[in-house]
Structure 1
Amino acid sequence: MMEYERYAQRKKMIPKKRNDMMNRKIIVFGIILLFTGIMLTPCIATDNARLKEILSPECPLIFVEEPGTLSGYVTDTEMNPIEGACIQVDFHETYREDYSDATGYYHVTDIPLCYCMKNATGSKPGYIPVSVSLAITENTIHDFILASTGPWLYVGGNGLENYTRIQDAIDNASNGDTVFVYDDSSPYVENIFVDVSITLLGEEKNTTIVNGSTNGTGEDPIEYFGIWIAADSVTVSGFTIEGCNLSGILISSNHTSISDIILSHNHNYGIAIGAMNTNQSFEQSGYNTITKCLITQNMGGVWISGHHNTITGNVISSNEIGIIVIFSLNSNISHNRISQDGTGVYLSGSYHTVLSRNNISSNDKGIYSMWTSADRILQNNFIGNNESASTFPGFFRQYFFKLDGQIPYPIRRNIWNENYWDKPRSHPYKSPGLLWFFIDWHPAQAPYSI
């Protein structure tokens, strides 16, 4: 009788063990589905409102439920308010504008929300106009700093009072002055430090050359850069910058505009924005713009940290890494041609980077993304890369950094949408990978004209 009871007891226990094992499997499977759902949810929404999408001939996606606004303050380089400055936002062959009041405040309204970058210009007679490309949201804030038009100082050329060194002219310049550099004395073998809000113009970008390969001791940090910009509201245009010991241009300030520059054969980066120490990147170097530059044959093309920096309309080619966005907030990267780099774009620790309408082609790897949050990769061309894009979310490390106070931003999913992936696709595009991957739910059927 006792043997029968023990046998019956064992028979009762078997279903219980099987149920326990099944419950464990369900729990594990549920956890996997949870993380997969976080990664793959095909939702496109803003932080503050769910927006309705409609088709438009000007822009494929326009959000019309709530229009966007742009507001902020207009000041001079001494931070005094400027009254009567015009702020104009151009888009879709039209514009919206507003004028600053006695406190310098302006508020431009009724701006359509879409994937297009908007060009915003602050201007007033007697001041140098400032333009910036912005991704407008419901409540975008941007401050304009306008430098007054001052005297011109000349470097090179035949003038009796012209300077022979660029640094000497800058040392004698004041806020709002323009330093014009002739190409007949090129190359200028200098390491230039800009600590005043000026416009620095080269006569012609192909022939006005700054060579930063000076034979310094390395004890002075300036010796590592072709041009180090430490003052706010500086404009630089019309140079070739090459051979620098570290980077061609370092921007450690705000509201700087770099355009029409060739940066090549620099030992580290063509242009570096913000702190090279990533522990202090977020609050440094904001609202800088890099446009219409050729950045080629450097170790890295562009390093971006800080906040609200814009890289648009550049050719970035034949670097080990084209663009590095690291511990950066609200970067805008658009309408660039990024090709023949080891990695086209490397994103790490960034928040709300908007990467749109770029031609990313013939790189070993188009985009590599890790530890990023709320980034938007929209309407880019991925053509002829050995690997178009890959991602490593690193949720646990992000949460650790968040709890430890090392990152100030919320942790949200990234959005990949309407990109062109080598060929027309009738189904959503999934990136390579079994566990860490993304899905573009609406891949483009033809490459964009960029």
Structure 2
Amino acid sequence: MKKAILIAMILLLLINNIDEGTPTSGKVLYVGGSGEGNYSSIQAAINAANDGDTIIVYNGTYFENIIIDKSINLMGMDKHSTIIDANYKGDVVRITKDNVKLSNFTIRNSEKNFEKAGIILQNADNVVIENNIITDNGDQGIRIFSSNHNIIRNNIISNNVYYGIWLYNSRENLIIDNSFINDGLVMREGSYPSFIQTITNNTVNGKPLYYYLNKKGVSIPEDAGQIILVNCSHITIKNFSISNASIGLEIAYSSFIKILNNNFSNNNLNGIRLYYSENNEISYNILYKNGWGGLSLWYSSNNSISHNDIGRNAYDDIEILFSSNGNKIFSNVVRDTPYGIGIRQSDGNIIHWNNIYNHEKYGMIAQDAKVNARWNWWGSFTGIIFGDKIATNNGRIYFFPWLPFPVPVAV
């Protein structure tokens, strides 16, 4: 009798939460509980299911790595007490089929390794991930890879090492009503359409995540928890303090943005990251103690970077990558990080009048790049002899003459 009542309640819930493209018919399978014929593992139920089936998982902790390769509805009883735990091995849930719905789970403890995630969508479209807690995963909470038209709704995404959600080469996804805590949203690489998403009503650490697409001259509200600009121009980002996001400020395909007098520190990856963006000004900012680097330029040229205080980041202070050419970097303090400035596959960058010092490994590295780095102070009047070191790999750094004393930089 109790099971019949439970089935009726769940079916009513399913009817009230149907999304276009998700399975709505088929048989119902059960995992856990004490019912006759219930499966003891989630993966066993998935293996036995067919497209259109629903799998209901009773409360409990399931130490599994799940692969969903069928168009099913996988539903936990309660997101707080129905837990899928990878026990720090591999990904927790991998979805490789269209038209899947995943809801009402805690998804946690993926492997503590690069590109391991709580949930991975790989070549999967029209998936709904809803009403979950996605927490404490090794690299990412959710990775959406080459997957389009998905809905990520009403999830708590927290304490994932680098990314809350990582969108990569994926288009027209709806990210709505999610709460990010100590992580955030990152759109990485891909062509311009990969940055076009519908992102609305999300928060990062209790503050709004502002995503602007195709805007010119707008004002950003002061209460931002994370800022993302795509194909924007003539916007000033000034006097913000953003921390504990994945990236404080992310800019793509944008120009004539002024980034002035902000503090983007203690974020999981970067304080500021630019993709395919030109003719922007980045000045008088503090970029400290970020989990990867302070400032990152990808395919971004002819930007002016001056009078910033950048240091104590986990890996590097400034990285200039992949045809980021002709940037002018002057009058900055760059310090106290394993690596100072890294330039890869980028030419024509001018790096003058900076204080570059106290880096554990190298003050500057050039790989497949030629760099004009004259007139900098390297932490010693002897320059790179007893100050910060430099390194090249199929590149060249023009470092002489150097400055024998620090630049009196106003930051």
TM-score (norm 1): 0.45
Identify which of structures 1 and 2 has the higher relative contact order when contacts are C-alpha pairs closer than 8 Å and 6+ apart: 1
Higher Cα radius of gyration? 1
TM-score (norm 2): 0.49
